[in-house]
Amino acid sequence: MNDQQADIDWRDDRVPVSTRFDDPYFSIHDGLAETRHVFLAGNGLPDRFGAKFRIMETGFGTGLNFLTAWQAWEAAGGRGTLRFTSFEAYPMSPGDTARALSAFPELGGHAGRLVAALQSGAGPHVFDGAVTLEIVPGDARETLPMHRDLADAWFLDGFAPAKNPELWGDALMAQVAAHMAPGGPLASYTAAGHVRRALAAAGLKVTRAPGYGRKRHMTVARRPG
């Protein structure tokens, strides 16, 4: 994977905070519930799972979004296959990943299997013959344009636009839109105006939706098709 690993401090000994971007990796209130609200419900999941379903994501972080999607896919009956592709510039070490995910005991064995896979090498990692995790290392502004897949759902994550503006620029938002399947949705925790405008300029139908917890709004979008 990338030679540049994440630099982390720990808040309350359980919440990882990026020292590079001065931002926590997940909600200090309930990161799992926020992930379910923003990325699952925001993309109409788990109801849309089936066939050869593809999720793409900016910012793998702790792997919480992947684990939440994997768990939801299984709970929905494990229909078809699931391919999860994440673009990550500064990957966590497996040890830090394990420590971070210990905050979510309900993820249980899924978290342990992810950490073991990360320890084994770069992947792609295949679980139970049906769930594939691909972590693409490097700057998404360089790696996403070279990627050929189209996503049935986009998890537009990463550190806050004010902290990490490079991951939310107009050119990258255009690439995100170009890598969405026709009719496919996108969801993000941010409701920043410049992000919504960039997505709209890329041809997506963009709306604000109720955010999680203290966040009044989040962003959902759809590619016409």
- Per-residue tokens: 51: 């066939």
DSSP β-bridge partners for residue 222: 185, 205
Q: What's the pLDDT at 215?
A: 86
**Long-range contact list for 192-197, CB < 8 A, 24+ apart?**
192/161, 192/162, 192/168, 194/161, 194/168, 195/156, 195/161, 195/168, 195/219, 196/221
Through-space distance between the first and last CA atoms of the chain, rounded to whole angstroms: 35
Least Cα distance to 80 among 125, 130, 126, 44 occurs for 130
| Residue that the structure tokens 């972590």 belong to | 135
pLDDT digits (tens, 9 = 90+) for 25-81: 887 678 899 999 999 999 999 999 999 999 999 999 999 999 999 999 999 999 999
Q: Is the pLDDT of residue 85 over 50?
A: yes
Q: What's the pLDDT at 5?
A: 85
- Per-residue tokens: 46: 């788990």
Q: Around Cβ 116, how many Cβ atoms within 10 Å?
A: 12
| Residue that the structure tokens 């992930």 belong to | 35
Q: What's the pLDDT at 3?
A: 56
Q: How many residues does this entry show for the chain?
A: 225
Model confidence band, residue 2 (pLDDT cutoffs 50, 70, 90): very low
Compute the mean pLDDT over every residue in the chain, rounded to the nearest whole number: 94
Strand-pair category, 125-127 with 153-156: unpaired
